[in-house]
Chains A and B, each alone.
Chain A
Amino acid sequence: MATDLAALVASLKTRFGDDVLGHTEFRGQFSVGLRRGANLSVLRYLRDEAQFEMLTDVTCVDSLNLPPEMRKEYPERFAVVYQLYSLSANQRLRVKACVPEEPCEIDSVTPLWEAANWGEREAYDMFGVVFKGHPGLKRILMPDNYEGHPLRKDYPLKGRGERDRFPKYTEMPER
């Protein structure tokens, strides 16, 4: 099985050229790095031609201060990670699409998989990556009036004081 996957990953490079930045293999797990604008076309090809019918997860990584040699397939600060699963071939593939710090946005894959909806909302909430074309991109975990994106590496561990300056219970006036 792994050889088929290796052949597929190699064919991606020839098919999409510069859009595919590279790939890594670790114990039979392949992860492919993509240029930012190419995620929709490559993922559509993987879904329709390569039988990766199922999107199991969409998430994001922030590699601020991570040495470049540790992240060869995604040279930018952020990478949106798509975990694909092929039901027919029982294979998994990881796709990482680069997102630079500015502008921090990428095409949404909700046209391909409805399942991407909440995953992309979470990635937006936690990392501030804007998904263009998302049907309703708003926060999913944090309160709507929350400021900042707490899973960014430059966010302070104990927050910026929002949990301390929260409005208090005010006692009812005496009657």
Chain B
Amino acid sequence: MGESISQKAGLGGFITTRLQELINWGRRNSLWPLPFGTACCAIEMMATLSSRYDLARFGAEVIRFSPRQSDLMIVSGRISLKMMPVLIEVYNQMPEPKWCISMGACASTGGVFDTYTLIQGVDQFIPVDVYIPGCPPRPESLIDAVMLIQEKIKRGEKQTKLYDRTQHPLDFQPVALVTEAAAGTPLLTGSRASLPAKDVETQEQNFPVGPPERTVTHVQRLKEPIAQSKNEK
């Protein structure tokens, strides 16, 4: 690098570039990851960071456990219904510009855990830039993902928007919703249509139909005064 700079600088002793490119050069070569490790993918992430695979070669070795000091979130592992608010809260606290890697099958799609509580892909709830397949992915895959992020920063792309699965013609919808839409029943009540009639009755009695009202977004919650939210608890 030093050599090429001196070559470019030549005898005049200065180089010219655009300011934005200089900033992006700095950003992509000093990514500070925030490890959101919840499962075995985090072990592979640790291996990537340690000496054998040495993510420091790509300038991303400064692991920050505070979201306020980091700009790359690595979601590695299963995210449950109870963990997702924490993940969104942490993601909101990261200063912009920020990027996100969804590492492994569980973080990207839910993996084999198609249960009542596991989030089927964090990209439904936060914007994801790079997905890594694998269960768990090898450290080379994570290095590749970090390099893809670097490429993305180099191109100077805008902030990733939240990915809306329902708008994509080729993408899937949650299985329960698809079967219910086909059966003509109201959406968002679970896969009740596939149950025996007797069990449906039991369930109707125990759990009234219809999604709960949750209209408060996280931005609204952040704007609320802290004292008020304490009083609510």
Would you call the interface of chain B mostly helix, strand, loop, or mixed?
A: loop
Residues on B with C-beta less than 8 A from A170 are 217-219
Q: List the count of A-B residue pairs having beta carbons below 8 Å apart.
A: 116
Q: Is A147 an interface residue (CB 8 A)?
A: yes
Extra contacts, 6 of them, besides A143-B82, A163-B116 (Cβ < 8 A), are: A141-B82, A148-B206, A148-B207, A154-B203, A168-B126, A170-B218
User: In the assembled complex, how far is the CB of residue A59 from the closest CB belonging to chain B, in whole angstroms?
Assistant: 18
Residues on A with C-beta less than 8 A from B127 are 169, 171
Residues on B with C-beta less than 8 A from A153 are 199
A166 and B207 within 8 A (CB): no
Q: List 18 A-B contacts (CB under 8 A).
A: A142-B117, A145-B212, A150-B116, A154-B203, A156-B176, A156-B192, A158-B115, A158-B174, A158-B175, A158-B191, A161-B174, A162-B116, A163-B119, A164-B174, A165-B214, A167-B217, A168-B124, A169-B162
B125 and A166 within 8 A (CB): yes
Query: Interface range on chain A: under 10, 10 to 19, 20 to 34, or 35 or more?
Result: 20 to 34
B189 and A147 within 8 A (CB): no
- Interface flags for A86-103 (1: CB within 8 Å of B; 0: not) read 000000000000000000
Q: Is B229 an interface residue (CB 8 A)?
A: no
B117 and A159 within 8 A (CB): yes
A159 and B176 within 8 A (CB): yes
Known: A154-B206, A159-B117, A159-B176. A167 touches B214 (CB 8 A): yes
Residues on B with C-beta less than 8 A from A169 are 88, 91-92, 125-127, 162, 218
- B residues near A, CB below 8 A? 81-82, 84-85, 88, 91-92, 96, 114-120, 124-127, 159, 161-162, 174-177, 187-192, 194-195, 199, 202-203, 206-207, 211-212, 214, 216-219
The chain A residue with its CB closest to the CB of B215 is A167
Q: How far is the CA of A84 from the CA of B48 in the complex (A)?
A: 46
A157 and B191 within 8 A (CB): yes
Known: A154-B203, A156-B190, A166-B81. A161 touches B117 (CB 8 A): no
Q: Is A155 an interface residue (CB 8 A)?
A: yes
Would you call the interface of chain A mostly helix, strand, loop, or mixed?
A: loop
User: In the assembled complex, how far is the CB of residue A141 from the closest CB belonging to chain B, in whole angstroms?
Assistant: 8
B203 and A161 within 8 A (CB): no
Residues on A with C-beta less than 8 A from B174 are 158, 161, 164
The chain B residue with its CB closest to the CB of A102 is B205
B126 and A157 within 8 A (CB): no
User: In the assembled complex, how far is the CB of residue B103 from the closest CB belonging to chain A, in whole angstroms?
Assistant: 18
B81 and A162 within 8 A (CB): yes
B199 and A154 within 8 A (CB): yes
Q: How far is the CA of A161 from the CA of B159 in the complex (A)?
A: 29
Q: Is A160 an interface residue (CB 8 A)?
A: yes
Residues on A with C-beta less than 8 A from B214 are 165-167
Interface residues of A in 91-139 (CB under 8 A from B): 128
Residues on A with C-beta less than 8 A from B82 are 141-143
Choose one: A152, A162, A167; the contact of B218 (CB below 8 Å). Answer: A167
The chain B residue with its CB closest to the CB of A173 is B219
Choose one: B91, B120, B162; the contact of A163 (CB below 8 Å). Answer: B120
Q: Is A26 an interface residue (CB 8 A)?
A: no
Residues on B with C-beta less than 8 A from A166 are 81, 84, 119, 125, 214
User: In the assembled complex, how far is the CB of residue B26 from the closest CB belonging to chain A, in whole angstroms?
Assistant: 22
The chain A residue with its CB closest to the CB of B216 is A167
Q: How far is the CA of A152 from the CA of B187 in the complex (A)?
A: 22
The chain A residue with its CB closest to the CB of B199 is A154
Choose one: B85, B124, B189, B206; the contact of A161 (CB below 8 Å). Answer: B189
